[in-house]
Chains A and B, each alone.
Chain A
Amino acid sequence: MEKSVSALVPEPLAAQRYGGLTSSAWRSIGVAAMIAVAIALPFLVGKYRVFELTLVMIYAIAVLGLNILTGYNGQISLGHGGFFAAGAYTAAILMHRYGVPYWATLPPAGLICFVLGVLFGLPALRFEGPYLALVTLAMALATPQLLKYFDTWTGGQQGINLVKPTPPSVLGINQDQWLYLIVLLALLIAIRVAANMLNGRTGRAWVAIRDHPIAAAAMGIDTARYKTLAFGTSTLFTGVAGALSAIVIGYVSPESYSLFLSVSFLVGSAIGGIATIGGAIVGGFFIQFVPNFANDISDAAPWAIYGLAMLLCTYAMPHGAVGTLGPLFIRLTRRLWPQRTT
């Protein structure tokens, strides 16, 4: 009797096995496979492609920072280019003036940008929507001016030329491959940290604040603290990306961090999927490759093609690539994902 009744109750999906492994085991294998491919890639393609892919990953980290702030916490930012520049110049000044080795510039860059983000986030608490956009826009516009003004530190218009790091000779790989691997490591750490934060208490608080600030406050969430934390975390990510960009490109100048960079980050973020982690990588690819494709299609009006690409992507995927296609994919492969109990 008992047996026949219990036979009618299906085993919980999470414990079901496909080909001998649970679905979470399959997911881990999938992730490991992707990482393996990512590690192998620089040895399969030419130096220039490796350089391009490194830039894609740097932009992905920067866009991930923006996703945290704008996607998960709902605070729009048109100024992340400024924080990217702050990270880049921190790394450049430390390397150039103080001889700090390149890998040791990442923590200070992150820390300084975190502090900057928190300082910025405090007054930003007062603003919403287009007003917040203006305040962050001001940051993007002020950055080149400030960089040009404090020229004893920043080198002014001339910028700072950096010596790019050489790989340890024992590894026998070239400079581009070494930098790629370093940035890949940074990206994986960034994704891990972001995933932990976003799936945990902090992330839930952020999303609650985004979706219904009044209810969130009523539930006891300290909105001011979490919003400021979101700002700081976001700029930390983008600042580290900036530091990496200084190391990989080997040159910083005020012209490198124009308003268009901030706009590009927002575009990449939205096209990839603003409230996703994977979307940051898609965004990185978009920012890096689509302008070049546009140039190939039409060298008379390439930015018109880029703008058109933006429009078409947005029409087809209003929540971004991962944001729109992700839920679709999950629906189709429903069985592979653990059931929620609520």
Chain B
Amino acid sequence: MTMKRISVTGLSAAGLAFATALAFAAGQYGPGAGDTEIKIGNTMPYSGPASAYGIIGKTEAAYFAMINEQGGINGRRINFISRDDSYSPPKTVEQVRQLVEQDQVLFLFSTLGTPTNVAIHSYLNDNKVPQLLVATGADQWNDPKRFPWTMGLIPSYGVEAHIYAHYILKNLPNAKIAVLYQNDDFGKDYLNGLRDGLGDKAAKMIVATQSYETTDPTVDSQVASLQASGADVLVTAAIPKFAAQTIRKVYDIGWKPTHFLSSVSNSVGTVMKTAGFEKGTGIISAAFAKDPTDPQWADTPEYKEWLAFMKKYNASANLGDVQGAIGYTYAQTLIVVLKACGDNLTRENVMKQAASLHDVAMPMLLPGITLSTSATDFAPIKQMQLETFDGTTWKLFGDVISASGS
């Protein structure tokens, strides 16, 4: 009997050791990850009022298709499941629950929008599912203490507005500022960031604000109203269509303010060209990514690589849309994180690797801007650079500005 027990114990011990060895050899996996595949979940507004951002999801999917064709990551192919939430938070909740509970994805990546992400971040944090590289520029995604599973990527709109505020305080101290903003989280973040950046001068300097809804056909009335306030600085926090209308209207009514334009809408190919190149001359914006339609990058190897990728894998997307370059950067950042995970594809390790980026450069980020994260810093991109439009292209000026989120 003792003999039997020893041999049974021995066998089980050997079996356990063997299994553990196998496990380590094959990799540690969370749900959705395995030897051959990594499942990633995503929600995007492919329809509805925010559908212009859908290109980000499409570009990411195309990039992952390219990676798969090139052999995948550490031999595993990426299964990118992207669902449409029409920018409606209840739909986002539903789709994310389906991705986590039915499709069993390893993590959520690049989910777009502020209210949509707010709707799911309690659920994801409670269930310890990474909400990685959210595709929106709000300040609240850099809060590792309260939401250790949530991380953003791009600089927040508030940070960008701070940069404009500091520039105004330094170079235009007696300015009278008018603000045109979209009446939602995106626009309000700019307005609040601007107020915050101007500090106690805000009340005196901001002389007029006007908002618009995405259902408004034009913003001509708002622009005329802002001009009538006598302002000599205009800050426009608008999405591409309305930004183009604003630029054109400002020119048409003969108003010549110092015009700051949100980085979301400074694409040369879609906004500046649509509005009219001569109408946008002199506008100031900020950027962290290269605008693919900007002629100054046309001869660089990074641009050529991007162009080849777009033509082969993402042909239906508009080449002139800077959101495409941003989607590309999101995808590439994720690949860096996943490569660093190696064979340890658990949710914890994914978050850990994401929080361990040290000055990582990306081809479509502006020179000098890199990704950095740590256990207390969940804002990978913290730098932007000011630029001004000269009629053909954006001319970067000044230094790369580093701003930490508030």
Please say whether the chains A and B touch (CB closer than 8 A): yes
Contact A51 B94 (CB under 8 A): yes
Q: Which of A137-159 contact B (CB under 8 A)?
A: 141, 144-145, 148, 156-159
Residues of B within 8 A of A258 (CB): 48-49, 88
Q: Could you tell me the dominant secondary structure of chain A's interface residues?
A: helix
Contact B118 A161 (CB under 8 A): yes
The number of chain B residues touching the other chain, given as a range, is: 20 to 34
Contact B185 A158 (CB under 8 A): yes
Contact B88 A299 (CB under 8 A): no
Which of B79-87, B227-235, B250-258 is the interface stretch?
B79-87
Contact B93 A251 (CB under 8 A): yes
User: Is A249 interfacial (CB 8 A cutoff)?
Assistant: yes
Contact B184 A161 (CB under 8 A): no
A105 to chain B, nearest CB (A): 18
Contact of B89 among A148, A251, A295 (CB under 8 A): A251
Residues of A within 8 A of B94 (CB): 51-52, 55
Residues of B within 8 A of A303 (CB): 47
Contact of A251 among B48, B101, B119, B215 (CB under 8 A): B119
Residues of B within 8 A of A249 (CB): 89-90, 93, 119
Residues of A within 8 A of B97 (CB): 47-48, 51
Q: Could you tell me the dominant secondary structure of chain B's interface residues?
A: helix
Contact B102 A48 (CB under 8 A): yes
Q: State the CA gap A144–B182 with chains docked (Å).
A: 13
Write the chain A residue with the least CB distance to B49: A258
Residues of B within 8 A of A47 (CB): 97, 101
Residues of B within 8 A of A46 (CB): 101-102
Contact B118 A250 (CB under 8 A): no
Contact A256 B86 (CB under 8 A): no
Known contacts A148-B184, A260-B48: A158-B101 contact under CB 8 Å: no
Write the chain B residue with the least CB distance to A251: B119
Contact A251 B118 (CB under 8 A): yes
Write the chain A residue with the least CB distance to B82: A299
Contact B90 A299 (CB under 8 A): no
Q: State the CA gap A260–B49 with chains docked (Å).
A: 11
User: Is B246 interfacial (CB 8 A cutoff)?
Assistant: no
User: Is B288 interfacial (CB 8 A cutoff)?
Assistant: no
Contact A253 B119 (CB under 8 A): yes
Q: State the CA gap A260–B89 with chains docked (Å).
A: 13
User: Is B225 interfacial (CB 8 A cutoff)?
Assistant: no
Contact B213 A302 (CB under 8 A): no
Contact A299 B46 (CB under 8 A): yes
Contact of A250 among B49, B101, B113, B122 (CB under 8 A): B122
Contact B47 A245 (CB under 8 A): no
Q: Which of A104-128 contact B (CB under 8 A)?
A: none
For B46, B87, B115, B215, the residue with the greatest tally of chain A CB atoms inside 10 Å of its CB is B115
Residues of B within 8 A of A254 (CB): 115, 184
Q: State the CA gap A249–B123 with chains docked (Å).
A: 10
Q: Which of A23-54 contact B (CB under 8 A)?
A: 46-48, 51-52
Contact of A253 among B46, B89, B101, B213 (CB under 8 A): B89
Q: State the CA gap A240–B90 with chains docked (Å).
A: 17
Q: Would you give the 0/1 interface string for A302-315, flagging 1 where the beta carbon is closer than 8 Å to chain B?
A: 11000000000000
User: Is B188 interfacial (CB 8 A cutoff)?
Assistant: yes
A265 to chain B, nearest CB (A): 14
User: Is A255 interfacial (CB 8 A cutoff)?
Assistant: yes
A296 to chain B, nearest CB (A): 10
Write the chain A residue with the least CB distance to B83: A295
Residues of A within 8 A of B116 (CB): 255
Contact of A48 among B90, B98, B115 (CB under 8 A): B98
For B49, B101, B118, B122, the residue with the greatest tally of chain A CB atoms inside 10 Å of its CB is B118
Contact B90 A245 (CB under 8 A): yes
B259 to chain A, nearest CB (A): 25
A193 to chain B, nearest CB (A): 26
Q: State the CA gap A254–B113 with chains docked (Å).
A: 13
Known contacts A148-B184, A245-B90, A255-B87: A141-B47 contact under CB 8 Å: no
Contact A157 B47 (CB under 8 A): no
Known contacts A251-B119, A295-B84: A256-B90 contact under CB 8 Å: yes
A44 to chain B, nearest CB (A): 16
Q: State the CA gap A47–B98 with chains docked (Å).
A: 9
Contact A256 B89 (CB under 8 A): yes
Known contacts A46-B101, A253-B115, A255-B116: A156-B213 contact under CB 8 Å: no
User: Is B183 interfacial (CB 8 A cutoff)?
Assistant: yes
B165 to chain A, nearest CB (A): 21
User: Is B114 interfacial (CB 8 A cutoff)?
Assistant: yes
Residues of A within 8 A of B213 (CB): 144-145
Write the chain B residue with the least CB distance to A149: B183
Known contacts A48-B101, A145-B183, A161-B118: A255-B46 contact under CB 8 Å: no
A152 to chain B, nearest CB (A): 14
Write the chain A residue with the least CB distance to B187: A157
Write the chain B residue with the least CB distance to A304: B47
Q: State the CA gap A67–B89 with chains docked (Å).
A: 26
Q: State the CA gap A225–B27 with chains docked (Å).
A: 71
Contact A158 B86 (CB under 8 A): no
Residues of B within 8 A of A161 (CB): 118, 122
Q: State the CA gap A179–B88 with chains docked (Å).
A: 22
Q: State the CA gap A249–B90 with chains docked (Å).
A: 7
| Additional A-B contacts beyond A47-B101, A52-B94, A159-B89 (12; CB < 8 A) | A156-B188, A157-B184, A157-B188, A159-B118, A161-B122, A251-B119, A251-B122, A253-B118, A255-B184, A256-B89, A260-B86, A260-B88
23 contacts between A and B (CB under 8 A): A48-B97, A144-B213, A145-B183, A148-B183, A157-B114, A157-B115, A157-B185, A157-B188, A158-B114, A158-B115, A249-B93, A250-B93, A250-B119, A251-B90, A254-B184, A255-B116, A258-B48, A258-B49, A258-B88, A260-B48, A295-B83, A299-B84, A302-B84
8 tightest A-B contacts by CB? A157-B185, A48-B101, A253-B115, A251-B119, A255-B115, A256-B89, A48-B102, A249-B90
Binding site for A on B (CB under 8 A): 46-49, 83-84, 86-90, 93-94, 97-98, 101-102, 113-116, 118-119, 122-123, 183-185, 188, 213, 215
